[in-house]
């Protein structure tokens, strides 16, 4: 059943799916993309032999639309999501969707569902999910020749509780080896992180922190976000690794940290070094910036700054990023696109 605006409690949405009136769809067949259009059906019909169901040719992106104080709507760096989507398609031998059409599709979906973009100051946003799947009937291991590209949106609350510090557990599982492949700096596949995350949640942790697949010594990322740390001398550091997602939020924070004189750097970070950070956090489209309260490794908890409140640098970075996303401050970087 389609969602109705009057039924939504903007301040208590949670991070979940709502069936909105419109989504965008385009299909690839006979060597070319057909003309995409807005549709109303939220269901997709697939053959039981569809490639995506057997060999996993599926990619997705995630971005948000923000209601500004003046009532207009901001998108945050959608062209970066379009480019990462192209990289993901190439990695999985899928037919790339044109990047300019990707951005246009996102805008069409937001415009068509604009009444569902949560009010300014509600703490909620419109989450946008572009995806592409292989739909050919394939029984042997091979790439599909037909694809469906779709963009849908759903209003969501915070993925994590804002600037409330969260507890994380270092995973005993090697996500790359467990799944047979790493995320390879693309949209990738989160399936291999589900089991460790479920186990972590059972024990009261927000999520898992993964180490590198070769030496199990260096930090890679969290199950659903990138990692950053603030050294005791005030430097912003984040892992450099070939197996983690290239985060658009991370890329943005590296620039903000540079402006704030934090001398940001991407490099290998040992787990032991992280225990000694002045501050640490998770960063991503869904997580935004979420401070790490503690990291538990082999049963021993290591508190990072505080379990009760965020550190001053994390708070400053969060406030500056969110102010740009919502249009509360001048966007000196050209990151936002405003819809009337």
Any idea of the CA torsion for 196, 174, 92, 99, to the nearest 10 degrees? 70
Whether residue 143 is found in the same domain as residue 233: no
Burial of 236 (0-12, 13-18, 19+ CB in 10 A): buried
| Shared domain check, 88 and 52 | yes
Is 310 within 8 Å of 322 (Cβ atoms)? no
Same domain, 147 and 188: no
Domain count, the chain: 2
pLDDT tens readout for residues 267-312: 999 999 999 999 999 999 988 999 999 999 999 999 999 999 999 9
Would 336 be classed as within a structural domain? no
Residues 223 and 279 in one domain: yes
Say what the pLDDT of residue 141 is. Answer: 94
Q: What percent of the chain has pLDDT over 70?
A: 95
**Is residue 330 assigned to a domain?**
no
| 211 within a domain of the structure (yes/no) | yes
* CATH number for the domain that contains residue 80: 3.30.470.10
DSSP 3-state of 77: coil
User: Which residue, 156, 177, 204, sits at the end of a domain?
Assistant: 156
**97-101, 182-186, 303-307: which range is least confident on average?**
182-186
- At what angle are helices 78-91 and 248-259 packed, to 10 degrees? 130
Query: Is residue 177 domain-shared with residue 117, that is, in the same domain?
Result: no
Domain span including residue 121: 5-156
DSSP 334: -
Looking at residues 133-159, what average pLDDT do you find? 95
Note if the pTM is more than 0.95. Answer: no
| 290 is a domain residue | yes
**Predicted local distance difference test score (pLDDT) of residue 235:** 98
> Which distant-in-sequence residues (6+ apart) come within 8 Å of 303 by Cβ?
293, 294
pLDDT (average), residues 321-331? 97
Structure tokens at 70: 């003046």
pLDDT, residue 28, reads 98
In a shared domain, residues 234 and 285? yes
185, 268, 309, 316: the active-site residue: 185
| pLDDT > 80? residue 178 | no
Q: Give how far the C-alpha of residue 176 lies from the chain's centroid of Cα atoms, to the nearest Å.
A: 18
In sign, the C-alpha dihedral spanning 36, 37, 38, 42 is negative
Q: Are residues 176 and 66 in the same domain?
A: no
Q: How confident is the model at residue 187 (pLDDT cuts 50, 70, 90)?
A: low
Residues 113 and 202 reside in one and the same domain: no
| pLDDT band of 220, cuts 50, 70, 90 | very high
β-strand partners of 290: 282
Q: What is the pLDDT of residue 181?
A: 35
Q: How confident is the model at residue 159 (pLDDT cuts 50, 70, 90)?
A: confident
Residue 162 predicted with pLDDT over 90? no
Query: Of the residues 105, 138, 156, which one is the last residue of a structural domain?
Result: 156
Residues 313 and 182 in one domain: yes
Please report the pLDDT score of residue 188 as a whole number. 54
In a domain, 339, yes or no: no
Say whether 202 is catalytic. no
pLDDT of residue 35 exceeding 70, the answer is yes
Residue-wise DSSP of 103-162: HHHHHHHHHHTGGGSPPTTSS-EEEEEEEEEE-SB--SS---S-EEEEEEEEEE--SS-T
CATH number of the domain where residue 173 is located: 3.20.10.10
What mean pLDDT is reported for the chain? 92
Per-residue pLDDT band for 175 (boundaries 50, 70, 90) equals low
Judge whether 335 lies within some domain.
no
Q: Is the pLDDT of residue 179 over 80?
A: no
| 192 pLDDT higher than 90 | no
Is residue 164 exposed (0-12), middle (13-18) or buried (19+ Cβ within 10 Å)? middle
């Amino acid at each position: 059943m389609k969602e109705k605006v009057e039924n939504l409690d903007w301040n208590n949405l949670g991070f979940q799916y709502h069936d909105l009136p419109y989504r965008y769809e385009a299909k690839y067949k006979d060597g070319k993309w057909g003309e995409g259009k807005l549709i109303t059906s939220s269901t997709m019909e697939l053959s039981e032999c569809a490639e995506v169901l057997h060999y996993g040719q599926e990619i997705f992106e995630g971005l948000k639309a923000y209601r500004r104080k003046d009532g207009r709507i901001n998108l945050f760096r959608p062209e970066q999501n379009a480019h990462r989507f192209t990289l993901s398609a190439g990695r999985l031998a899928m037919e790339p969707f044109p990047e300019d059409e990707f951005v246009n599709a996102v805008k069409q979906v937001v415009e068509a569902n604009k009444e569902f973009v949560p009010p300014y100051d509600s703490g909620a946003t419109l989450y946008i999910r572009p995806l592409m799947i292989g739909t050919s009937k394939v029984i042997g291991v091979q790439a599909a020749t037909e694809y469906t590209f779709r963009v849908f949106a759903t209003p969501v609350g915070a993925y994590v509780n804002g600037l409330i510090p969260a507890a994380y557990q270092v995973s005993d599982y090697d996500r790359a080896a467990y799944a047979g492949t790493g995320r390879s700096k693309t949209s990738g596949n989160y399936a291999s992180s589900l089991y460790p995350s479920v186990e972590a949640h059972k024990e009261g942790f927000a999520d898992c922190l993964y180490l590198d697949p070769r030496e199990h010594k260096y930090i890679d990322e969290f199950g659903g976000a990138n990692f950053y740390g603030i050294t005791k001398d005030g430097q912003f550091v984040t892992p450099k690794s070939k197996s983690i997602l290239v985060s658009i939020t991370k890329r943005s924070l590296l620039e903000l940290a540079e402006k704030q004189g934090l001398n940001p750097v991407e490099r290998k970070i040992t787990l032991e070094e992280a225990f000694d950070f002045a501050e640490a956090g998770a960063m991503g489209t869904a997580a935004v910036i979420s401070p790490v309260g503690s990291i538990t490794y082999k049963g021993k908890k290591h508190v990072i700054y505080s379990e009760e409140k965020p550190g001053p640098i994390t708070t400053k970075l969060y406030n500056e990023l969110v102010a740009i996303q919502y249009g509360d401050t001048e966007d000196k970087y050209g990151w936002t696109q405003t819809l009337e």
